[in-house]
Amino acid sequence: MSQESRVKKSLLNARVNLIFYFLTLALSFFSRKIFLDTLGADFVGLTGTLQNLLGFLNLAELGIGTAVSFNLYKPVQEGNREKIIDLVSVFGSLYRYIGFAIMGIAIILSCFIPLIFKNAIFDYGIIYFAFFSFLSSSLIGYFINYRQILLSADQKNYVVAGYFQAGNILKCIIQMSLAYYYTNYYIWIVIELVFAILYSIILNKKIDKIYPWLKTNIKIGNTKRKQYPEIIQYTRQIFIHKLKDFLLTQSDQLFIFAFVSLKMVAYYGNYVLIIGRLTQLFATTLDSIGAGVGNLVAEGNRTKILNVFWELMFVRYLIAGVIVFSIYHLITPLICLWLGHEYILDQLILVLLLLNLFIMITRGTIDMFNGAYGNYGDIWAAWTEGGINLSVTVIAASFWGISGILLGKILSLLPIIVFWKPYYLFKSGFMERYRLYWTGTIRYYIVFGCSFLILHFVSVIIPINPYENFYNLILYSCFLVFPFAIIYGVGLVLFTKGARGAILRIPYVKYIIK
């Protein structure tokens, strides 16, 4: 696969994600307000908790999807259709076993729902109905949608994003309308399941159109599994990392439910929604180039690989800095105007949330290149990170609630994500000195810290009250965020690696320079 092809597909993925981002952004906030007002914070908290429980069951996926994607990069680059069919068939056969395993575990877990939700205000009928509806939606991915893995490996995530996001928009509009007029929990849940089924049907028809030669066979996949022992090897390694990642990224609401309350799950979810929508614009775009990085590493051009690495580091640190600065200064007045003052969380929770967010965004480049090199052998690191997170969270949450839960995440990220993972990449992937990483990266932290402090002092003297109305909030953000982005961006260009290369990839900039 040529570099031009990689860039073209990455831009197409970015374009599709950008379009749907703006379509769903306003709808998300509007729908959240309606669901909280009509269905209540407890129901919103219940659905979030159930989906996180099922997310824990999805750990049974074991990382097979990541392992198969890694093995698909080379045959996709070479156009080896026979091997692609074999790998997707193997993937489908393994996913079928996993689907049955998840179904069995979920049925057993459902027996304990009366104990898990013993203090909930809902009758068990609605809880069970929601649980098995969400479970059915999840199982569709294992039994029917497994072929979409090729779209990801072939950098055609825009196909998945297009149908999935369009379906979500229509689903949300229908749910809002019916919730407003009927205030019925069962109708809301049924719509979730119906749209999952429709999405599956449409997606598979599109896959047949794009890859008419992709004639997978589950039985053949069963017989060919032994020909690809590396899949099982990588899966065993990746599983531990996925378990750890779940504890870090998906367990917040479960811990809040266990240590605080079901209603606080919804309050915390409001912050997560805002942060998630703001980061989604960039996250889906940046994550969509993962397959391109895999193909780049497969080519083996060491100089080009390092150049792209620093370019992506620049992009991620620029995005992380602007997002964290913006959220810190704007999320509290936004929550107050959007939902009401009673939904505002403690300032310490916000600071810990943003510290965690900065680390999670900036770690993306390291994770992407480690994945491209197949660097999953550091199982001890995953156990260490997960152990620190779980032990600190259980202890700290008992004393400080949500702040303690976030503190557990941050203390587990520092030794492994901030220090070990870059070392692992530079030693086992790039074969370069680890010192080169920190001489380049420390500049990002210095530029961000200086820019943040300068504009934070400016925020105090801006003669606009963002708590009065949305117009003031927008005006306040313009006077604050744009100057920060300019100062921070210029600082990164002047003092950090990768900035010039990344900017030159913008077509119009390259044309002007020429």
The whole-number pLDDT of residue 1 equals 40
Over residues 161-182, the pLDDT tens digits come to 677 777 778 888 898 888 888 8
The whole-number pLDDT of residue 247 equals 66
The whole-number pLDDT of residue 507 equals 62
Q: Reply yes or no on whether the pLDDT at 4 is more than 60.
A: no
The whole-number pLDDT of residue 3 equals 43
Residue 2 binned pLDDT confidence (cut-offs 50, 70, 90): very low
Asked if residues 393 and 409 have their Cβ atoms less than 8 Å apart, the reply is yes
More confident residue, 18 or 472: 472
The whole-number pLDDT of residue 332 equals 92
Q: Give the CA angle between residues 373, 9, 2 to the nearest 5°.
A: 65
Locate tokens 């990002």: which residue? 444
> Nearest to residue 199, comparing CAs of 156, 152, 136, 155?
136
Highest mean pLDDT among 73-77, 243-247, 405-409, 504-508: 405-409
Domain boundaries, given as residue ranges, for the chain: 1-245
- Round the CA-based radius of gyration of the chain to a whole number and report it: 23
Q: Reply yes or no on whether the pLDDT at 476 is more than 90.
A: yes
Over residues 334-383, the pLDDT tens digits come to 999 988 888 888 899 999 999 999 998 999 889 888 888 878 778 888 88
Asked if residues 368 and 407 have their Cβ atoms less than 8 Å apart, the reply is no
The whole-number pLDDT of residue 328 equals 94
**Distance in angstroms (rounded) separating the CA atoms of residues 173 and 177:** 6
The whole-number pLDDT of residue 314 equals 92
Mean per-residue pLDDT of the chain: 81
Asked if residues 498 and 313 have their Cβ atoms less than 8 Å apart, the reply is yes
According to DSSP, residue 122 is labeled S
